[in-house]
Structure 1
């Protein structure tokens, strides 16, 4: 390894880490200041053999980082004899997204034909870019995609050339691998939509796995009691139902859709004489806030019920979401409230004195009656369905990749009452698309109209399926655990990953 470090002027860290019963070798590469000649030569070879113009993207530090890492990483694999005694059909490089493709290039250029290579698409970066970058979001993009499929058009024919986006240029090289895995059904469609060789490549579905926990109803109810007590401490009432959304605070998670559903759900709860709370655990600051700040804000203005945007409390997307979404909703709502806990962690030491002392992070997963996750772009969505095995309803959008896996695991969505699928892409009756170009005119106004209309049906379905008594909670718990078992990592490996590898082994 020292010779690799000297040749490429990088630092390597080698170690062994145990996962379950097995030890795995781990290699880390620090390419902060790599040998420029080695990196430039590698980029030249990539251009020469694959036609990827690396010089066009050298302004981008992320692009440079992964191209600097790849040659020493592959050389380090050889140095630790990772492939000793293995034939070509027994050696695999699985490229996680575009980030792994430079390692595939390094292997193919250094040892042609000696490694089986897999491109594992955990998203389609160009699709994410187009969805997040336009106000029509998923409503626009997926209607355009499926109409373009009818017309035999690819992405660039409809949206124009995207090669200025380096991830798009690398994505088009995925067909250089022996096979492609996709983490969700729509990711398969998105990859086909790229056109060119990728549209004709072999693509296998290999979903993400879902944790399959085994808990009993009393344990769930104890977690729910803690959440109810927290609501009482914050808002002065004990809710009948506890709703949650645990997520990163980024555009793709479309947190505003939670409030659209809640607006309708609030009326149904009020008519039934029930109350609810929605805890949204999400922050723009990955490391969270300093606990002493949180304690001070709690004392000064009632954080996390109240927030301020001028003192380090609310930042970035949190500002508009609270002041334009949560606060107006809370002013209008009669039977529910939404609380934004913009902190990393879920315990008293991180979230203030009003959180019960016995509260743990898993309580917000185990005690929830409903987990929201209505993303505009979600290749799979593990977090959305994690609470399945805890007996929660999971309200997800129809563009979430996990929906396809639930459908297969349950033998049809009709057999999965735990999962409520919100459809914000199907256009209303009378909205006719003559061509895929018509779909490009779907803007924020159209999407807002569809969301406001369709969210009413989602709210009604949620309301109808919420448990009213212990027996209903027990049924949801057992059904959720059975579905989660059929979506476990063990199932993913045995039924999806290994059969896909055998095809090219």
Structure 2
């Protein structure tokens, strides 16, 4: 039994993205809770951000405040309240402590707002990082993201010690991604020897940067990595130095902690490519899990009818098929590939006399839009079918993506794309045209096809989630979840389609590193055009056109999901990795 596990993460208080989904899955599992006596989620918050605090306190988040001096709440022992007060005074921070019900278990949450934290303890931590690891914080002090997490770190650890008083062994401190590393290093500085230190790699930040910023994207990088590893070359020998990138500099330290966990096979390979010495150590694969809920055909069709009703309200037709893509709107998700596939699907659907609606739920702003704004825009100009860029509706590259959607909808004859740039999937979040009984899980349950054709995807929980619910999941070869699917025997099932965008064009030599590194948009476009057409016709052939076929798909999806569940991840991957640390 592990006495204490501290998870340091920016998603400690509220689930925002992938790490939050991992925590929700693991911390709700019986196997995790049978193996870990006490869990504390350690992170930050912004006390003056009303929207963030509203989400934190939302009934859906199931968060109960136990201590928050700003509100005069102190439902903790007097000794803890006094210790918290002293930390706040010394560091000039705010502390929020409470519990979150994740599944059937209450887990502790400790958040610190270090927006105005005293500088002396922060500088002391920077000095420690330099003397211990040669990490020069001064190179990155013009980066607000770096400063934010460094600013919270020391106060977070002192708040943690104020809460614990004594740390019972064995104890493990996990930094989820680079955002948790400053707190881990602060624990190493102020609580030396008290924790086994783990870096939980949900991605390789340097690799994401390389793939996203070069027009060759995944096609170029993964083929170059394949050749370089065969020749014994490292990432920096092939792609140059990234020492001026603070995430890379932190990664170079993190890979030498007591343990390194990777969420997918590519992440493991990327880390070993970044630091070849890792090949002599163990990087533990700890895949993400997927839901394993048995869904009846009646339940699936009920959810699908709600999605069809929404399509009728938005576009005036009841589609034969419902497609979806639930994702963050970042370059790595390669949503343009979805449109490439949809262009071929539209033609094939028209040939068959069928129709489709494609819902893309994605936003640059993680918290989405205020509900009152959405209702106003819906009334004023028909959001989400229509959008504007002069009023806070479309921001950043949402505008560029919307232009592609508009162009597709103008020419398409059998399908429509709806771009919902919001967080949430219910009438109170998405407007009056959404059916009143609609909930987020209806989008998961009712979808016939989930897109997930990323150029960089360490695992990809969202695109494989609907697999248990009978959906066909279209995944690019860059998706880390394919490794788990293979281990679970799922690649032979009709529920999974792999789009191999890593396939080299015929004119490029398989072992020509220079030629592969020189590939840009032209080569990638030609590969994507070919693979998108192949994928579209495979989708058309695999869509279930009878209740019998749908029932088989539901049963196969449930069985596969059961072999990839969070219970399996905790028992077969995470807890053995914990035990190897002790």
- Could you say which TM-score interval applies, normalised by the shorter chain? over 0.9
Distance in 1 of aligned mates of 2:137 and 2:222 = 31
With 187-196 and 228-237 compared, the bigger mean Cα shift is at 228-237
> Are residues 116 and 358 of structure 1, via their aligned partners in 2, closer, same or farther at CA, if it must alter by over 3 Å?
closer
Distance in 2 of aligned mates of 1:198 and 1:110 = 27
Quote how far apart the aligned CAs of 1:380 are.
1.1
Q: Is the 8 A contact 1:373 1:384 kept in 2?
A: yes
Q: Is the 8 A contact 1:179 1:201 kept in 2?
A: no
**1:369-428: CA deviations, max 9, x gaps?**
00111111111111111111211111111111111111112x2511x3211111111213
The answer for the alignment partner of 1:316 in structure 2 is 396
**1:276-295: CA deviations, max 9, x gaps?**
11111223344434555545
Q: CA RMSD in A?
A: 2.1
Distance in 2 of aligned mates of 1:107 and 1:9 = 19
**1:162-203: CA deviations, max 9, x gaps?**
011001000001233111000111000110111254454320
Q: Is the 8 A contact 1:16 1:26 kept in 2?
A: yes
**1:113-164: CA deviations, max 9, x gaps?**
4421111001111011111111111111111111111221111111111011
With 102-111 and 229-238 compared, the bigger mean Cα shift is at 102-111
Unmatched 5+ stretches in structure 1: none
**1:286-323: CA deviations, max 9, x gaps?**
44345555455445544333334444443322211122
The answer for the alignment partner of 2:163 in structure 1 is 80
With 174-183 and 110-119 compared, the bigger mean Cα shift is at 110-119
1:423 aligns with 2:423: no
The answer for the alignment partner of 2:449 in structure 1 is 370
> Are residues 287 and 103 of structure 1, via their aligned partners in 2, closer, same or farther at CA, if it must alter by over 3 Å?
closer
Q: Secondary structure at the match of 1:172?
A: helix
> Are residues 312 and 103 of structure 1, via their aligned partners in 2, closer, same or farther at CA, if it must alter by over 3 Å?
closer
Q: Is the 8 A contact 1:284 1:316 kept in 2?
A: yes
> Are residues 402 and 234 of structure 1, via their aligned partners in 2, closer, same or farther at CA, if it must alter by over 3 Å?
same
**1:344-364: CA deviations, max 9, x gaps?**
333334434433333232221
The answer for the alignment partner of 2:561 in structure 1 is 484
**1:237-273: CA deviations, max 9, x gaps?**
2211111112222211111111111111122212222
Distance in 1 of aligned mates of 2:265 and 2:291 = 20
Find the partner of 2:468 among 376, 385, 389.
389
The answer for the alignment partner of 2:64 in structure 1 is none
Find the partner of 2:459 among 376, 380, 385.
380
> Are residues 67 and 198 of structure 1, via their aligned partners in 2, closer, same or farther at CA, if it must alter by over 3 Å?
farther
The answer for the alignment partner of 1:190 in structure 2 is 270
Could you state the TM-score of these two structures normalised by the residue count of structure 2?
A: 0.81
Aligned positions of 1:14-163 closer than 5 A: 14-81=97-164, 83-86=166-169, 90-163=170-243
Distance in 2 of aligned mates of 1:78 and 1:303 = 49
Q: Secondary structure at the match of 1:59?
A: coil
The answer for the alignment partner of 1:444 in structure 2 is 521
Distance in 2 of aligned mates of 1:75 and 1:354 = 49
Distance in 2 of aligned mates of 1:138 and 1:191 = 16
Q: Is the 8 A contact 2:490 2:560 kept in 1?
A: no
Q: Is the 8 A contact 1:407 1:413 kept in 2?
A: yes
Find the partner of 2:491 among 413, 429, 436.
413
**1:454-491: CA deviations, max 9, x gaps?**
11111111111100011111111111111112211111
The answer for the alignment partner of 2:93 in structure 1 is 10
1:403 aligns with 2:482: yes
Distance in 2 of aligned mates of 1:272 and 1:142 = 37
> Are residues 393 and 120 of structure 1, via their aligned partners in 2, closer, same or farther at CA, if it must alter by over 3 Å?
same
Distance in 2 of aligned mates of 1:83 and 1:205 = 31
Q: Secondary structure at the match of 2:284?
A: strand
Find the partner of 1:464 among 511, 525, 541.
541
Aligned positions of 1:316-335 closer than 5 A: 316-323=396-403, 325-335=404-414
